[in-house]
Each structure stands twice: as structure tokens, then as C-alpha cells.
């Protein structure tokens, strides 16, 4: 199984009613659904630098102990900058959206 298949649940609804849920979200997406879709829009290129080296280590490991040693040695070299940047932007956007909603609610009172 390709490494990216492990991450597919991030972009689709899960559970027994996933078709109904996905349909309802597509018809009337709320701010959270829109933010989640926006944040995961191009997640594969961002997550690949994290998962690629780890999956290569898992595939090549001869034992659990060897894998643990490889992971411990490589942890500082794994590139998290793209993910950090995306999370910071998503957090900032969510904060702005929340502040705007609070401001609108206070004006309506």
C-alpha cells in the first residue's frame, strides 16, 4: 500500500453514514468544514516530507529495535517546516474567523 493511502481519511467522511454526511457538507458547508477543506487542500506535499522517511525506515527495518534506533537518530532531520507553516496559517485564519463572528454577534445585540 502506498504511504499516501494512510492519509486518505483526512479528506473524506468516515462511518456508516459517510455518503450522507459528505452530501450534507457539500450542500451546506459550515465554517469548520470550509476551514478543514482549505487546510487539507494540499496536505500530501506537506505531509510527505514527514511520512516518506519514516515509511522508508519501516520498510527497511530488520527489527523493531533497529527501527527505534533509526527513528531516534533521524528525528531531528525530518522536515516539519511546511507542516508548521500550514498549521500556523490555519490557526491564524480560524482565530480571525472567530473574532469576526464575535464582533458580528456583539453588533447585533
For residue range 51-60, list pLDDT tens digits in order.
888 899 999 9
Contact 24, 15 (CB under 8 A): no
Predicted TM-score (pTM) of the model is 0.45
Give the C-alpha separation, 69 to 66, whole Å. 5
Higher-confidence residue of 66 and 9: namely: 66
Tens-digit pLDDT profile for residues 80-94: 888 888 889 888 988
Kindly list the domain boundaries of the chain, sorted by start residue: 31-108
When pLDDT is cut at 50, 70 and 90, the band that residue 63 belongs to is: very high
CB atoms within 10 A of CB 46: 20
Q: Please tell me the predicted confidence (pLDDT) of residue 49.
A: 81
Give the C-alpha separation, 64 to 12, whole Å. 32
Higher-confidence residue of 22 and 36: namely: 36
Amino acid at each position: 500500500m502506498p504511504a499516501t493511502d494512510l492519509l486518505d481519511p483526512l479528506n473524506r467522511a468516515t462511518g456508516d453514514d459517510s455518503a450522507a454526511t459528505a452530501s450534507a457538507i457539500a450542500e451546506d458547508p459550515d465554517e469548520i468544514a470550509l476551514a478543514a477543506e482549505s487546510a487539507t487542500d494540499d496536505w500530501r506535499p506537506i505531509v510527505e516530507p514527514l511520512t516518506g522517511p519514516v515509511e522508508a525506515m519501516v520498510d527497511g527495518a530488520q527489527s523493531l529495535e533497529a527501527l527505534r534506533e533509526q527513528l531516534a537518530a533521524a528525528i531531528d532531520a525530518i522536515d516539519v517546516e511546511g507542516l508548521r507553516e500550514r498549521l500556523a496559517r490555519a490557526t491564524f485564519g480560524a482565530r480571525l474567523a472567530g473574532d469576526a463572528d464575535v464582533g458580528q454577534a456583539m453588533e447585533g445585540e
